[in-house]
Amino acid sequence: MMRAMEEMDQENIFDGLSSVVEGCRLPVKMRKGDEWPLAEIISIKDVNGVTYYYVHYVDYNKRLDEWVTEARLDTRKIQYPRKDGQSNAGTGVNTPIKKLGSGTTTIPAVPVPAASSRPSSPVGPPELVNGNAFLAAALNKKMNRKRKAPPPVHTVPNHAEPAPEVPVQVVRTTKSTSLTIPDVPIAAEGDLSEPPSSDRRLTGSMVAHNDDIVTRMKNVEMIELGYHRIRPWYFSPYPQELIHFPCIYICEFCLKYRKSRKCLERHLAKCNVRHPPGNEIYRKQSISFFEIDGRKNKVYAQNLCLLAKLFLDHKTLCYDTDPFLFYVMTVFDDRGFHIVGYFSKEKVSTEDYNVACILTMPPYQRKGYGKLLIEFSYELSKFEGKTGSPEKPLSDLGLLSYRSYWSQTILEILVNLKPVDENERPQITIMEICELTSIKKEDVISTLQNLNLINYYKGQFIISLSKETIDNHMQAMSKRKIRIDSKCLHWTPKDWSKRSK
């Protein structure tokens, strides 16, 4: 009986295949596991009599999009596209990933030649009250009292300019550490990943993502880079004649691309490059950073952007690399300097962005290199004597990395804060945190809110550090085995604004 029902279900599934068109939504079996999430049909093609469907799993990251056969479609719960031509709401294109494999394999190397009123002080046992609502009320009060220029365009949403800084007072107890902060208006936390669409701009030789039918579909099946074969996550505009090959072979030193392994071997016989172009400005043990001028090394910069676009969805590529600097992180062995990741940076940024695009290559992810890239970008900002912030939108993984870095960096300062005199509480201001870390004020404030550390107590705003928070922080810091050593950075900031004139 059960077998008969299964056969009937299977017949029903295949009977509905003729009605599947682009834009339909239906359950699709994922490559890994036994899940059948709802997916949208993006494109349909026939190859040697076999029909393939390109699907996007709704509420999953686009890096899981793939071509599937009819055997993985369940047409019993099909949803047809609306007749008005508009797509159903909630595509989930930019939602966080739920499950993801590494997507990389190791192969032999090629031979190298909200607001509320302010409450009264608590009565009875001391109790901490979450201060975000009161901070929002303070913001509204200040904005109604004194309105000057409109807020900056490229800032974290809803964050206004704070009032003049007052020293933070620190209260240490056996159960928690409380830091009193000045009466600074802080709005509710904004979404760091998506600024208003009108604010999007050129970013690190890439621009805001244009979600059309072509760029929604992966066009490269596999790349080979050094020891690794990597399955790309997103679309990248490699030459049309290359994308039909099962794999694109990329020189890991100059980043030039070839259509076959034989072509790559012939290229390596002639290529005498063993490191990125530009100046090596940092080296400690096996880790180095190279600074590359997008104008002087245009071909390398463009090839780097093509490679990075395979793993960055929120940007599309443009070839004007002149206004940008690229900082490539490498690891060194007897074969040369192998690319681990990079970030790009505008030579002149009116909004004090210290990163435009940032990427850790998939084989090196989850090893601490992402935080090292972020830490290096802020080390450059310290040398420049500025505070900086990454340009938005951030990818889902980039947003997680930045929030983790901001949290650990700010907590490291608060935990180690010492009083000036024995009988006094330790004091610090938000601006002093910014000066010590080079993290922009809006990011410091949003991080404190995201950690839920801002509270209201006896008429003052305080930062409360519980023993659990401190213990979790110490445990996280113990896992960061690699850190940037400022003594190993040999770099002098340049005034690009004068050079451009």
The 3-state secondary structure of 141-201 reads HHHHHCCCCCCCCCCCCCCCCCCCCCCEEEEECCCEEEEEECCCCCCCCCCCCCCCHHHCC
Distance CA 88, CA 225 (A): 39
pLDDT given for residue 210 in this prediction: 54
The boundaries of the domain holding residue 73 are 21-79
Q: Is residue 173 part of a domain?
A: no
* Residue 353 DSSP code: E
Q: Is residue 312 part of a domain?
A: no
pLDDT given for residue 99 in this prediction: 43
> For residue 79, what are the β-bridge partners?
25
Taking only the tens place, the pLDDT of each residue in 456-467 is: 677 777 788 888
3 state SS of 74 = coil
pLDDT at position 6 over 70 = no
Mean pLDDT of 200-220: 64
Taking only the tens place, the pLDDT of each residue in 321-363 is: 999 999 999 999 999 999 999 999 999 998 889 999 999 999 9
Residue that terminates a domain, selected from 273, 288, 311: 273
* Residue 72 DSSP code: G
Q: Is residue 339 part of a domain?
A: no
3-state helix, strand, coil in the chain (%, to 5): 30, 25, 50
3 state SS of 105 = strand
Q: Is residue 325 part of a domain?
A: no
**pLDDT band at residue 173 using 50, 70 and 90 as cut-offs:** very low
pLDDT, greater one: 120 or 288: 288
pLDDT, greater one: 185 or 313: 313
Say if residues 228 and 106 touch (Cβ distance below 8 Å). Answer: yes
Lowest-confidence segment of 245-259, 372-386, 388-402 by average pLDDT: 388-402
Percent of the chain with pLDDT over 70: 68
**pLDDT band at residue 134 using 50, 70 and 90 as cut-offs:** very low
pLDDT given for residue 90 in this prediction: 45
Mean pLDDT value across the chain: 77
What's the number of CA atoms in the CB half-sphere (13 Å) around residue 464? Answer: 19
Mean pLDDT of 102-126: 45
Q: Is residue 66 part of a domain?
A: yes
Taking only the tens place, the pLDDT of each residue in 410-446 is: 999 999 888 777 767 777 888 999 999 999 999 999 9
Percent of the chain with pLDDT over 90: 49
pLDDT at position 144 over 60 = no
Q: Is residue 480 part of a domain?
A: yes
Strands 168-172 and 129-130: unpaired
Question: Any idea what the CATH number is for the domain that residue 75 is in?
Answer: 2.30.30.140
Structural domain total, the chain:
3
Mean pLDDT of 448-454: 87
User: What are phi and psi for residue 374, nearest 5 degrees?
Assistant: -65, -45
Q: Report pTM.
A: 0.74
Neighbours of 419 (CB within 10 A): 13
> Catalytic site residue 391?
yes
**pLDDT band at residue 162 using 50, 70 and 90 as cut-offs:** very low
**pLDDT band at residue 396 using 50, 70 and 90 as cut-offs:** confident
pLDDT, greater one: 163 or 363: 363
pLDDT, greater one: 425 or 70: 70
Question: Any idea what the CATH number is for the domain that residue 482 is in?
Answer: 1.10.10.10
Residue that terminates a domain, selected from 273, 297, 312: 273
User: What are phi and psi for residue 498, nearest 5 degrees?
Assistant: -75, -40
Instruction: With CA atoms as reference, report the closest residue to 460 among 199, 188, 138.
Output: 138
Mean pLDDT of 89-101: 44
Number of H helices, E strands in the chain: 10, 24
**pLDDT band at residue 284 using 50, 70 and 90 as cut-offs:** very high
- Within 326-395, where are the H helices? 369-384
Q: Tokens in use for 456?
A: 């209201």
Question: Any idea what the CATH number is for the domain that residue 245 is in?
Answer: 3.30.60.60
pLDDT given for residue 318 in this prediction: 63
Q: Which of 391, 422, 442, 468 is catalytic?
A: 391
User: What are phi and psi for residue 53, nearest 5 degrees?
Assistant: -120, 125
Lowest-confidence segment of 120-129, 365-374, 413-422 by average pLDDT: 120-129
Distance CA 126, CA 147 (A): 36
pLDDT at position 191 over 60 = no
pLDDT given for residue 317 in this prediction: 64
pLDDT, greater one: 201 or 54: 54
> For residue 290, what are the β-bridge partners?
280, 328
Residue that terminates a domain, selected from 44, 61, 79: 79
pLDDT, greater one: 18 or 15: 18
Q: Is residue 494 part of a domain?
A: no
pLDDT given for residue 119 in this prediction: 37
pLDDT at position 475 over 70 = yes
Q: Is residue 460 part of a domain?
A: yes
**pLDDT band at residue 447 using 50, 70 and 90 as cut-offs:** very high
The residues, ordered by sequence, that sit 6+ positions from 187 with a Cβ below 8 Å of its Cβ are 135, 136, 139, 158, 159, 160
Say if residues 366 and 474 touch (Cβ distance below 8 Å). Answer: no
pLDDT at position 95 over 50 = no
pLDDT given for residue 110 in this prediction: 52
- Three-state SS letters, 390-402: ECCCCCHHHHHHH
